[in-house]
């Protein structure tokens, strides 16, 4: 692949992320992405086999940024402080970039084997590396906590994935901004939920799960 081709692909991914951040994942049609980089729709598909492949590569760009922020947040004095730091940073990232949250949840809605068939080997490899880079930080904190008795975790990698998935679901609640409860006479009614409340709950849940053990 030539340097100009690689640069064009980076430009397309950058434009896709910019539209995601501005409008959300659902409102970033290929035609608008093409206009943003001065290309035709047909040329976009010369570089990416499908819209799904382009969107998956855009997720890897988010993951690159997230990994850097998680590494910076892993600075506590002990495992509990470190886990609280990286979990809080993960929550902050999802709240700052709602499109990343949408993308991550969208990827999780289908079996991994289906996604594997929809993207090239190179894209699959980059997605896996991007996720592993972030999860490695969490797993490392959990491993250190298990060694010194702070956490009751037998399988840090499983628990890191568990925490990641649980946090994404909870943070979607912050995206919605409302919950539902039984009101007068049992009639369902909405109530507001603040992002800060969800963030605090995500951090508390991570600490509780790590302390209680992963059940393995």
Kindly report, residue by residue over 134-146, the tens digit of the pLDDT.
999 999 999 999 9
Q: Is the dihedral of CA 127, 27, 15, 40 positive or negative?
A: positive
131 & 147 share domain? yes
For residue 111, give Cα distances in angstroms to 34, 84, 101, 117, 203.
Answer: 29, 30, 18, 10, 27
110 & 202 share domain? yes
86 & 192 share domain? yes
CATH code where residue 75 lies: 1.10.357.10
115 & 163 share domain? yes
164 & 109 share domain? yes
Structurally, how many domains does the chain consist of?
2
Q: Convert the pLDDT of each residue in 2-28 to its tens digit.
A: 677 778 788 888 888 887 887 766 666
9 & 107 share domain? no
Q: Convert the pLDDT of each residue in 75-96 to its tens digit.
A: 989 999 999 999 999 999 999 9
* Alpha-carbon span 201 to 206, nearest angstrom: 9
Highest mean pLDDT among 82-86, 105-109, 118-122: 82-86
Structural domain including 196 reads 50-212
* Alpha-carbon span 200 to 152, nearest angstrom: 21
21 & 119 share domain? no
Q: Convert the pLDDT of each residue in 150-206 to its tens digit.
A: 999 999 999 999 999 999 999 999 989 999 999 888 899 999 999 999 999 999 999
CATH code where residue 29 lies: 1.10.10.60
Nearest CA among 55, 60, 67 for reference residue 26? 55
24 versus 102: the higher-pLDDT residue is: 102
36 & 141 share domain? no
**How much is the pLDDT for 214?**
59
């Amino acid at each position: 692949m030539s340097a100009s081709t690689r640069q064009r692909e980076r430009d397309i991914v950058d434009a896709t992320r910019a539209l995601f951040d501005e409008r959300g994942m659902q409102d970033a049609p290929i035609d608008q992405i093409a206009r943003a980089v001065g290309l035709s729709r047909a040329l976009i598909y010369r570089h990416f086999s499908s819209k799904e492949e382009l969107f998956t590569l855009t997720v890897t760009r988010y993951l690159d940024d997230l990994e850097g922020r998680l590494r910076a947040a892993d600075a506590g004095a002990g495992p509990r402080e470190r886990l609280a730091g990286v979990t809080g940073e993960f929550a902050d990232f999802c709240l700052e970039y709602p499109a990343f949250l949408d993308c991550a949840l969208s990827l999780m809605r289908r079996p991994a084997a289906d996604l594997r068939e929809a993207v090239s080997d190179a894209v699959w490899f980059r997605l896996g590396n991007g996720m592993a880079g972030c999860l490695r930080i969490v797993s490392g904190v959990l491993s250190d906590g298990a060694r010194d008795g702070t956490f009751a975790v037998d399988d840090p990698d499983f628990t890191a994935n568990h925490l990641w998935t649980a946090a994404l679901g909870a943070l979607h609640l912050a995206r919605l901004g409302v919950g539902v409860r039984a009101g007068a006479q049992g009639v369902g009614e909405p109530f507001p939920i603040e992002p800060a409340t969800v963030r605090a709950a995500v951090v508390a849940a991570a600490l509780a799960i790590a302390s209680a053990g992963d059940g393995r």
